[in-house]
């Protein structure tokens, strides 16, 4: 029996975060970002533990002061001292699976700065440090002795053998190439070996403005073993309309490996947000599922309440909480991109 990657909606020990320290990721917004992050941490600690990466002891003292000023219960924080390049734990953190004995194991995929940025070498070590802190074994995902590049935001999974990803992110032959020469079949083999996946659903493109080149966690997410939330852009003149409708067609009539038909629920997109003539990848689908809550990014947009209502209907046993993300999205990602679940 192989590994099994649990779904995000399965029981969690906590959430892995890295407190921001790189102001260049949020130009002109860094002070606001730090307090937005404090609010994010505070919301999580109401429900579970936060494993919080800080760059050094001095940074830990500064962060602790901010958390204390916000009256956050520090008993819910487990600090991990590790210098990083960035704070996007979804992509550089370990993917934690259950092995054949139902014990936790950290899978270390390679990270190359989304095949776009040069400053990423510190982030390559995050899986090793986190696995050590959690006291769980670490396995490197390799093919012919070469580490396989994969970010957590490139995949979503239902815990029962099905994974969804995009061709744009993993199969494009020339733009932000992660693993040159990899085919669908090769990825399927890797996903089966390290994550226990027996069905891969390939969507097409991601949304406009996504500098990762097609991460699926902005467009399509499992909220139970047989249901996905898929972003929807109704404005036919918007670039994302064509992309998202093409993905809808790919999801029609899919039979899941667990025997059930895939259900697709549409989630509106917020109105377009631009910064310095560049579109930002704002999406409600970048929500984070906790044990008893869902945290959803909001954008001071009329669609905020509609999106919150959809999640409340889909997850009636969870509190659905909006977190203001207009500052966070300047960094080209929000709640899900910044975090990674640590299964129980």
Alpha-carbon distances of 266 from 170, 236, 244, 316, 339, rounded to whole Å = 24, 16, 10, 17, 23
Residue 221 lies in a domain: yes
230 has which bridge partners?
220, 266
49 has which bridge partners?
14
The pLDDT of residue 1: 57
The pLDDT of residue 299: 98
H/E segment holding residue 49: strand 49-54
DSSP state of 34: H
- pLDDT of 26 higher than 90: no
Query: How much is the average pLDDT of 168-181?
Result: 96
- pTM (2 d.p.): 0.97
User: Average model confidence (pLDDT) for the chain?
Assistant: 97
Please check whether residue 276 is in contact with residue 270, taking contact to mean a CB–CB distance below 8 angstroms. Answer: no
Residue-wise pLDDT tens digits, 122-153:
999 999 999 999 999 999 999 999 999 999 99
Which one, of 210, 130, 207, lies nearest residue 176 by Cα? 210
Please check whether residue 53 is in contact with residue 17, taking contact to mean a CB–CB distance below 8 angstroms. Answer: yes
Written as six digits, the tokens of 255 are 């039979």
Residue-wise pLDDT tens digits, 31-72:
999 999 999 999 999 999 999 999 999 999 999 999 999 999
Query: How much is the average pLDDT of 86-99?
Result: 98
The pLDDT of residue 72: 98
Residue 342 lies in a domain: no
Contacts of residues 111-118 at CB distance under 8 Å and 24 or more positions apart, as own/partner, are 111/149, 111/151, 112/149, 112/178, 113/85, 114/151, 114/176, 114/211, 114/212, 114/213, 115/149, 115/176, 115/177, 115/178, 115/213, 116/176, 116/211, 116/212, 116/213
Query: How much is the average pLDDT of 295-314?
Result: 98
In angstroms, how far is CA 331 from the centroid of its own chain?
A: 14
Whole-angstrom distance, CA of residue 283 vs CA of residue 299: 9
Rounded to the nearest 5°, which phi and psi values hold at 45?
Answer: -65, -15
Please check whether residue 322 is in contact with residue 304, taking contact to mean a CB–CB distance below 8 angstroms. Answer: yes
Sheet hosting strand 227-232, strand order edge to edge: 220-224, 227-232, 263-268
* Domains contained in the chain, number: 1
Residue with tokens 């936060």: 50
Residue 343 lies in a domain: no
Q: Residue 148: give the domain boundaries.
A: 12-337
Q: Which of the residues 63, 307, 337, 342 is marked catalytic?
A: 337
Please check whether residue 248 is in contact with residue 221, taking contact to mean a CB–CB distance below 8 angstroms. Answer: no
| Known catalytic residue at 337 | yes
Alpha-carbon distances of 63 from 18, 118, 200, 251, 317, rounded to whole Å = 11, 27, 40, 43, 32
Whole-angstrom distance, CA of residue 43 vs CA of residue 293: 9
Residue 344 lies in a domain: no
Give the CATH number, domain containing residue 28. 3.75.10.10
- pLDDT of 99 higher than 80: yes
Which one, of 204, 176, 208, lies nearest residue 282 by Cα? 208
pLDDT band at 27 (very low <50, low <70, confident <90, very high): confident
Which one, of 130, 147, 138, lies nearest residue 82 by Cα? 130
Residue 199 lies in a domain: yes
- CA angle, 111 as apex, 28 and 257 as ends, to 5°? 110
Residue 6 lies in a domain: no
Whole-angstrom distance, CA of residue 93 vs CA of residue 130: 8
Whole-angstrom distance, CA of residue 143 vs CA of residue 164: 21
Alpha-carbon distances of 61 from 67, 81, 229, rounded to whole Å = 10, 11, 39
């Amino acid at each position: 029996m192989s590994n099994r990657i649990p779904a995000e909606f399965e029981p969690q020990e906590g959430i892995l975060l890295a407190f921001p320290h790189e102001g260049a990721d949020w130009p002109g917004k860094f002070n606001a970002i730090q307090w937005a992050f404090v609010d994010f941490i505070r919301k999580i600690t109401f429900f579970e533990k936060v494993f919080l990466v800080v760059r050094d002891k001095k940074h830990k003292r500064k962060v602790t002061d901010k958390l204390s000023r916000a009256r956050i219960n520090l008993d819910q924080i487990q600090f991990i001292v590790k210098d990083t390049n960035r704070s996007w734990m979804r992509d550089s953190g370990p993917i934690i699976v259950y092995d054949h004995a139902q014990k936790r194991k950290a899978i270390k995929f390679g990270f190359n700065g989304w095949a776009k940025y040069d400053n990423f070498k510190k982030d390559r070590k995050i899986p090793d440090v986190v696995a050590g802190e959690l006291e769980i074994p670490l396995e490197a995902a390799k093919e012919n002795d070469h580490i396989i590049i994969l970010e957590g935001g490139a995949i979503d999974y239902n815990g029962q053998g099905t994974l969804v990803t995009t061709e744009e992110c993993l199969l494009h032959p020339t733009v932000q190439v992660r693993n040159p020469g990899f085919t669908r079949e090769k990825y399927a083999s890797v996903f089966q070996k390290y994550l226990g996946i027996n069905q891969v659903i390939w969507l097409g493109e991601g949304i406009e403005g996504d500098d990762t080149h097609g991460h699926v966690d902005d467009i399509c997410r499992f909220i139970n073993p047989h249901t996905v939330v898929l972003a929807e852009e109704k404005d036919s003149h918007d670039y994302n309309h064509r992309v998202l409708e093409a993905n809808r067609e790919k999801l029609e009539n899919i039979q899941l490996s667990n025997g059930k038909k895939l259900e697709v629920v549409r989630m509106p997109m917020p109105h377009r947000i631009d910064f310095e003539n560049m579109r930002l990848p704002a999406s409600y689908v970048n929500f984070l599922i906790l044990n008893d809550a869902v945290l959803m990014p909001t954008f001071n947009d009329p669609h905020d309440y509609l999106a919150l209502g959809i999640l409340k209907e889909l997850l009636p046993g969870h509190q659905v909480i909006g977190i203001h993300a207009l500052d966070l999205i300047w960094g080209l990602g929000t709640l899900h991109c910044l975090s990674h679940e640590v299964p129980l």
